[in-house]
């Protein structure tokens, strides 16, 4: 099975733009939706620290590391404002 590739920066922007276009259907304002995305990102950005705290082996961390992207890889949050 071929591993799933991360979307390119442009694709990610399109995905986020599409998602942000649906916020009203979930009863959210644009600002509330961005705040929710920011909250999730702030938790997920610490994934490696949490794995290490819970004793996950370095080899296992390496195996899953490609599933977590750094903000700098996708242009930070500047594209959400």
Q: Where are the domains of the chain?
A: 27-70
Distances (CA, A) of 30 to 26, 44, 71: 11, 21, 20
What's the CA gap between 78 and 81, in Å, rounded?
A: 6
Contact status, residue 65 vs residue 48, Cβ threshold 8 Å:
yes
Closest CA relative to residue 19, chosen from 42, 36, 2: 36
Can you give the pLDDT at residue 14?
Answer: 74
Q: pLDDT category, 79, cuts 50, 70, 90?
A: very low
Helix (H, G, I), strand (E, B) or coil at 55: coil
Q: Dump pLDDT digits (tens) for 20-38.
A: 888 889 899 988 988 888 8
DSSP state of 68: S
């Amino acid at each position: 099975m071929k591993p799933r590739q991360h979307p390119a920066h442009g694709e990610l922007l399109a995905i986020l733009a599409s998602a942000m276009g649906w916020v009203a259907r979930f009863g959210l304002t644009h600002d509330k939706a961005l705040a929710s995305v920011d909250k999730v990102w702030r938790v997920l950005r610490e994934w490696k620290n949490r794995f290490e705290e819970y004793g996950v082996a370095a080899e296992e961390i390496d195996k899953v590391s490609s599933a977590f992207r750094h903000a700098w890889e996708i242009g930070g949050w500047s594209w959400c404002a």
